[in-house]
């Protein structure tokens, strides 16, 4: 009997130490989701400039937005692998990253004298950017 109790205590201790019981994974996933949500603007504030007026963003700023969006999508993807609660957040941030990447070639360069509308007509964004922002914002409210 003592051996059984000792074995069970050892198993519980090992489970708690390695967080393989699941609670640690959920906590880690929540932390990752919160980190990913830092990419988004204040949920009550305006959308990022890329969603509302990409013509006013410099190419360097657009590259920075794409990098931050990609990092946020990676963080939320790791969170979703640990806890499926964050699947929708990962999907939305991935869509935002794809949309920003699609907008990048639309950004003006010194050699490009086309209007913003002409650049947009040449290559439209991959998806509904505003919808992705709203979805990600709603999912981020769950993380706060």
Domain boundaries, the chain: 25-143
Q: What are φ and ψ of residue 39, in 5° steps? A: -65, -35
Q: Residue 7 and residue 78: Cα distance in Å, rounded?
A: 33
Q: What angle do CA 69, 73, 79 make, to 5 degrees?
A: 145
Check residue 119 and give its pLDDT.
Answer: 60
Question: Are the C-beta atoms of residues 63 and 105 closer than 8 Å to each other?
Answer: no
Closest to 119 in 3D by CA, of 57, 60, 55, 64: 55
Mean predicted confidence (pLDDT) in 127-135 = 78
pLDDT digits (tens, 9 = 90+) for 42-90: 544 444 444 444 555 677 787 888 888 889 999 999 999 999 999 999 9
- pLDDT at site 41: 67
Of 4, 3, 136, 1, the C-alpha closest to 72 is 136
Q: What is the pLDDT of residues 13-22, one digit of tens each?
A: 444 444 444 5
User: E-strand spans in 24-90?
Assistant: none
Q: What is the C-alpha to C-alpha distance for residues 43 and 142, in angstroms, rounded to an integer?
A: 12
């Amino acid at each position: 009997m003592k051996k059984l109790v000792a074995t069970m205590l050892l198993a519980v201790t090992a489970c708690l130490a390695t967080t393989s019981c699941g609670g640690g994974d959920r906590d880690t996933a929540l932390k990752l989701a919160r980190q990913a949500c830092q990419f988004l603007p204040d949920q009550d504030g305006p959308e990022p400039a890329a969603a509302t007026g990409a013509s006013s963003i410099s190419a360097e700023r657009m590259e920075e937005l794409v990098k931050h969006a990609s990092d946020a999508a990676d963080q939320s993807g790791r969170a979703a692998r640990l806890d499926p609660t964050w699947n929708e957040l990962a999907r939305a941030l991935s869509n935002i990253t794809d949309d920003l990447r699609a907008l990048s070639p639309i950004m003006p360069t010194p050699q490009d004298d086309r209007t913003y509308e002409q650049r947009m007509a040449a290559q439209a964004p991959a998806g509904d950017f505003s919808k992705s922002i709203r979805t990600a914002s709603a999912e981020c409210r769950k993380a706060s």
